């Protein structure tokens, strides 16, 4: 039996299922907008600039249906491919 990779383990987790669902995409868009707004308000400070720069990650993830965590772990970047990984495999349990 081959051990599951970290990317596969993450992509099958409940957290990944939430992040790659429509609600998760909405959450990432709201969180990214929040980082952007807070960063803009505090743009004179280093952390404000960092918050604005960081907002690009959740905004692109939610807006473009990307999963940066999966990609960092060696899995697919596209949310659609992550969702395909989450489907139960068929054919291995079918009767002949």
Domain spans of the chain, in order of start = 1-20+66-85, 21-64
| Contact present, 33 and 59 (Cβ < 8 Å) | yes
pLDDT digits (tens, 9 = 90+) for 66-78: 999 999 999 889 9
pLDDT digits (tens, 9 = 90+) for 21-65: 999 999 999 999 999 999 999 999 999 999 999 999 999 999 999
pLDDT digits (tens, 9 = 90+) for 73-95: 998 899 889 888 877 765 555 44
Plot region of 74 (φ>0 → left; ψ -120 to 50 → alpha; else → beta): left
| 7 Cβ neighbours under 8 A, 6+ residues apart | 70, 73, 74, 75, 76
């Amino acid at each position: 039996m081959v051990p599951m990779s970290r990317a596969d383990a993450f992509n099958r987790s409940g957290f990944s299922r939430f992040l790659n669902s429509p609600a998760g995409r909405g959450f990432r868009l709201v969180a990214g907008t929040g980082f952007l707004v807070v960063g803009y308000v505090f743009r004179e400070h280093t952390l404000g600039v960092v918050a604005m720069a960081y907002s690009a990650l959740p905004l692109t993830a939610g807006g473009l249906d990307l999963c940066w965590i999966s990609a960092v772990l060696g899995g697919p970047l596209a949310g659609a491919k992550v969702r395909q990984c989450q489907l139960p495999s068929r054919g291995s349990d079918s009767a002949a």
